[in-house]
């Protein structure tokens, strides 16, 4: 008989921008509970019109993972989608930390850097995919993705923008069962 790993509620995505108050983003579970998706409408850092910025924005997404009897590990694929357009001299960075309550997540973090030399000519969408191996000591554990975006832009007449549109966590394989 096949054993299936499931993602379940409570799922929580809290964003804490530098200036705005904390808010919750909706998290959608796929019909077979193998995918969890957090969508954002305002996870953005924007500057321009002669105003410099050195700001960050954070968000934690927590997803409950249920391991089948006898299973202790799995591989999740985390996919982050967004947009960046940077004025000359501007830079953006997205850092993502991963953890599993009562277990481990490897890698524990990743960092992506965006520079105006690469992302300044009109801007573009980005997609970051990262396989994360999780090992649990219990049948149920909470997998957490901690996002931190950062934008540093000089005083410029041109707009610099760094957006995160969505974060998806999918079960791509189950290990030891």
Query: Above 60 in pLDDT, residue 31?
Result: yes
pLDDT classification of 175: cutoffs 50, 70, 90: low
pLDDT at 106: 94
Q: What percent of the chain has pLDDT over 70?
A: 76
Query: Above 50 in pLDDT, residue 9?
Result: no
**Neighbouring C-beta atoms of residue 167, cutoff 10 Å:** 25
- Read off the pLDDT of residues 54-98 as tens digits, 9 standing for 90 and up: 778 888 888 888 877 777 788 889 999 999 888 888 888 999 999
pLDDT at 124: 87
Buried b (16+ CB within 10 A) or exposed e, 68-92: eeebbbbebebebbbebbbbebbbb
Query: Above 70 in pLDDT, residue 7?
Result: no
pLDDT classification of 99: cutoffs 50, 70, 90: very high
**Neighbouring C-beta atoms of residue 44, cutoff 10 Å:** 17
The closest of 77, 176, 79, 78 to 135, measured between CA atoms, is 176
Give the residue, 109 or 74, on which the prediction is more confident: 109
CA separation for the pair 56, 151 (Å, rounded): 6
The set of residues, in sequence order, having a beta carbon less than 8 Å from that of 176 and lying 6+ positions away, is 71, 72, 73
Torsions phi, psi for 116 (to 5 deg): -65, -30
pLDDT at 68: 77
Could you tell me the domains of the chain? Answer: 6-174 (2.60.120)
Mean pLDDT of the residues in the chain: 77
Query: Above 80 in pLDDT, residue 162?
Result: yes
Torsions phi, psi for 118 (to 5 deg): -95, -35
pLDDT at 24: 45
At 130 the three-state DSSP class reads strand
pLDDT at 1: 42
């Amino acid at each position: 008989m096949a054993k299936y790993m499931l993602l379940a509620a409570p799922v929580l995505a809290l964003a804490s921008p530098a200036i705005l108050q904390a808010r919750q983003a909706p998290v959608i579970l796929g019909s077979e509970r193998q995918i969890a998706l957090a969508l954002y409408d305002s996870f953005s850092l924007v500057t321009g019109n002669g105003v410099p910025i050195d700001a960050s924005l954070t968000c934690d997404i927590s997803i409950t993972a249920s391991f089948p009897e006898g299973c202790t590990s799995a591989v999740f694929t985390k996919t982050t989608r967004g947009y960046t357009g940077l004025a000359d001299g501007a830079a953006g960075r997205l850092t993502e930390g991963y953890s599993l309550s009562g277990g481990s997540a490897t890698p524990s973090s990743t960092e992506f850097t965006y520079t105006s030399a690469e992302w300044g000519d009109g801007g573009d969408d980005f997609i970051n995919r990262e396989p994360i191996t999780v090992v649990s000591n219990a049948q149920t554990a909470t997998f957490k993705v901690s996002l931190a975006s950062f934008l540093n832009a000089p005083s410029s007449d041109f707009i610099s923008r760094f957006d995160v549109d969505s974060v998806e966590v999918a079960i791509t394989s189950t290990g030891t069962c």
